[in-house]
Amino acid sequence: MKFTDGYWMMRKGVHAVYPVEALDIDAGPASFVVHAPVQRIRHRGDLLKGPVVTVSCASPMPDVIAVTITHFAGERPCGPAFALATDPTGEVTVDEDAATLTSGALSVRVGRGEGWRLDFLAGGRRLTGSAQKAMAIIDTDDGRHYVREQLDLGVDHFVYGLGERFGPLVKNGQTVDIWNADGGTSSEQAYKNVPFFLTNAGYGVFVDHPGRVSFEVASEAMARAQFSVEGQSMRYFLIYGPTPREILRKYTALTGRPARVPGWSYGLWLSTSFTTAYDEATVTSFIDGMAERGLPLSVFHFDCFWMREFRWCDFEWDPRVFPDPPGMLRRLRGRGLRICVWINPYIGQRSPLFEEGRARGYLLRRPNGDVWQWDLWQPGLAVVDFTNPDARAWYAAKLDALLDMGVDCFKTDFGERIPTDVVYHDGSDPERAHNYYAHLYNQTVFELLRKRRGEGEAVVFARSATAGGQQFPVHWGGDCESTFEGMGESLRGGLSLGMSGFGFWSHDIGGFEGTPDPALFKRWIAFGLLSSHSRLHGSRSYRVPWLFDEESVEVLRRFSRLKMRLMPYLAGAARQAYGEGLPMMRAMVVEFPDDPACTHLERQYMLGDDLLVAPVFSADGELSYYVPRGVWTRYLTSERVEGGRWVRERHGFDSAPLLVRPGAVIPEGAVEDRPDYDLAEGVTLRVYEPADGARVMTVIPGADGDAVTTFTTSRDGPVVRVAAAGAPGAWSVLLVNRRVVAVEGGESAEHPRGALVRAACGELVITLEGEGSTTASVPRGDDR
């Protein structure tokens, strides 16, 4: 929120005080505390005045420093609180000039001289800091109290993240309130609000407050990133990278990494849609239609009306249209499908579970003891109190019965419109619990699935989240419009969420609200199948492709089979997501932080380390996108593209810009009708003109996520060596746009895209024709 009236004045009814000097410093072995009065201490009489701001600095892990700003320390502690992985570290030095805490390569320094100054330093330079009148204690005439901090932003410093936000990717100039809301994808509201941002200036900031945090990013003070919370104290963490990739690694080490999800979840999900009419015959006709047309399908999803109207949620199949749920699920699973059903955390008054939950105290209550209810979404709706362990067990038991029946996973919808005029079982503060509710909800469902299905086999399709929610994947983008603008909003939201620590993300192919025309549907198919997870879902109309036109069938077949073949590559990108906290879909600035042209790019992304995707946002196929420096290669045609420039071109519906990074090795699988297969068996390594002296390691995870097959590709002059470690079985190498004059360890054959070499043992030694390309590979964001 904004507190000032222009540069010089405060808004009416707002009063602020600021620390002006470090009066004294209490140093510990790995932390220090500064007592900073808000007026200059000239004589002993000034010591009788307040306020005094207490600033504590500590480090929970290397390269991360926590700063806690406190006015009154007697504020009653209240939950909930983020669960953070900490291992305190750091070294403190105090001299006549300053107190400094150093953790890894990061230091925080508070000066002792005249004027308040808190600086963050790394690598011999100042990253940012809190200067005069930046840190503040603020009161208002209506009795509210806030703590505010402002960190300096340089002219070329840009801010990203803050959750899934559908506006511009760069947050400079924006006001962002961290408050979950069910507002669609076309406004400033968001389903997934995360009080964390990263910058291209070498650091990120996480505000450790689960409730409302207000950010003014170069929007109140133009050269500062401001954040504030209501209360007497605020803690934030500054996280040093220096690259965006490293910032995300360290942030997710602090707040939690995504879980590994099952291989089948990367396949195509098909939904009944929302308000459409359907029964088993309808579902079977869809599945038959997909099979008849050679369209790979992995998951079938039943949306809201699998339950009877007005009884959401009772977790009982509507007997009028599904008279034999166990038999139906058995028939569907017999066709190799997984089953997902829609749920939410609300209990309608007509659900039998309402009286059960009311009697046992499992529903949120008003301060007078009444069950909190309203008529939005479902008549007489109540909300499950997930702070009550018994309520969590009760809710999970209802879902457990569905797992016994044959359901595999759940779409955990809603969880945003959580009231604040309520009393929680564990005494949680309603304001702090509003966003955190989504965390408890998804955690309850995910942990049940993990318990029943095993590690790496749990997956949800969640809409709401906050910091730490990345541990319970997958998340999807919510209710977008069936327009090209809605498609663009969805992409911006997904990239922003990825820069907030979330590794997996999806969206409704074709949009949710409305019915897409065939052109939009076909363009969205390519985007959807080049995302981490892919789902056909809508509101009032079905999303099976033959209802649009026959070309839609062809486009879906082409891109779904492409994704299945890319599974060895995508599994490696997923391994980075759950192992390192790197999103599978990355904003260009994450991979190319030193390229100024990438700072604002929001209509394209990197899928893993090495594939650039530029969705087509027009019916006629015209688009422009930026290609970083180097010679890139089109994956679909093997045509070379000179980078370091903007490219303008036109694509048919069966195409989209999909470019391979210079020097990359892309493993392509031998199966194209399912995602969960032995990814190493029959794999083809597509080698894209590695530079002389290059060495590329390609890791293909096994079914358990741990056992891996590793290929090492190196080049020394005209000789390319590829060595396999693990148990790859049959494997090949495709040297794209190259010819071969000699092979040891295998046999070569001509190929339309270059030279194909089939391995006969664990190592290939290939001699290329001619000098070959010596174009240097583009360094990744961490210069690996």
Question: DSSP for 525-574?
Answer: HHHHHTSSSEEE--SSS---GGGT-HHHHHHHHHHHHHHHHTHHHHHHHH
What count of other Cβ atoms lies within 10 Å of the Cβ of residue 412? 25
pTM of the model: 0.96
Neighbour count for residue 445 (Cβ, 10 Å): 23
As a whole number of angstroms, the distance between CA 465 and CA 485 comes to 24
Which is nearest to 522 in space by CA: 565, 550, 495, 556?
556
- Exposed, middle or buried: residue 29 (CB in 10 Å: 0-12, 13-18, 19+)? exposed
pLDDT of residue 414: 98
Q: What are phi and psi of 225, to 5 degrees?
A: -100, 120
Annotated catalytic residue within 182, 216, 413, 429: 413
Catalytic residue among 216, 220, 479, 513: 479
Query: Is the separation of the CB atoms in 230 and 145 below 8 Å?
Result: yes
User: Which member of 416, 508, 668, 678 is catalytic?
Assistant: 416
Q: What is the pLDDT of residue 773?
A: 42
DSSP for 225-283, please give it. Answer: EEEEEESSEEEEEEEE-SSHHHHHHHHHHHH-PPPP--GGGGSEEEE--SSS---HHHH
pLDDT of res. 503: 98
Q: What is the pLDDT of residue 116?
A: 94
Residue 596 tokens, joined:
């100024």
Residue-level pLDDT at 318 = 98
- Strand bridging mode 645-650 / 622-627: antiparallel
Report the pLDDT value the prediction gives residue 778, as an integer from 0 to 100. 40
Q: What is the pLDDT of residue 771?
A: 57
Which residues are CB-neighbours of 349 under 8 A, at least 6 positions away? 373, 378, 379, 380, 381, 382
Q: How far apart are CA 759 and CA 391, in angstroms?
A: 57
Sequence-distant (6+) residues with CB within 8 A of 123 are 105, 202, 242
Q: What pLDDT is stored for residue 728 in this prediction? A: 73
How far apart CA 52 and CA 34 sit, in angstroms, is 10
Beta bridge partners of 74: none
pLDDT means over runs of 10, the chain (784 residues)? 95 97 94 96 86 97 98 94 96 95 98 92 95 96 97 98 98 98 97 98 98 98 98 98 98 98 98 97 98 98 97 97 97 98 98 98 98 95 98 98 98 98 98 98 98 97 98 98 98 98 98 98 98 98 98 98 98 97 98 98 98 98 98 98 98 98 98 96 96 96 83 97 89 97 95 96 95 43 35
Q: Quick one: CA dihedral 113, 118, 123, 127, positive or negative?
A: negative
Task: State the chain's maximal CA–CA distance in angstroms.
Answer: 91
Distance of alpha carbon 519 from the chain centroid: 28
CA distance 206 to 200: 15
Q: What pLDDT is attached to residue 443? A: 98
Of 129, 136, 150, 116, the residue nearest 22 (C-alpha) = 116
Q: Please tell me the predicted confidence (pLDDT) of residue 179.
A: 98
**8 Å CB contact between 467 and 82:** yes
| Predicted pLDDT of residue 706 | 72
Query: Which residue reads 């109207």 in tokens?
Result: 309
Residue 25: how many CB atoms within 10 A of its CB?
18
479 is catalytic: yes
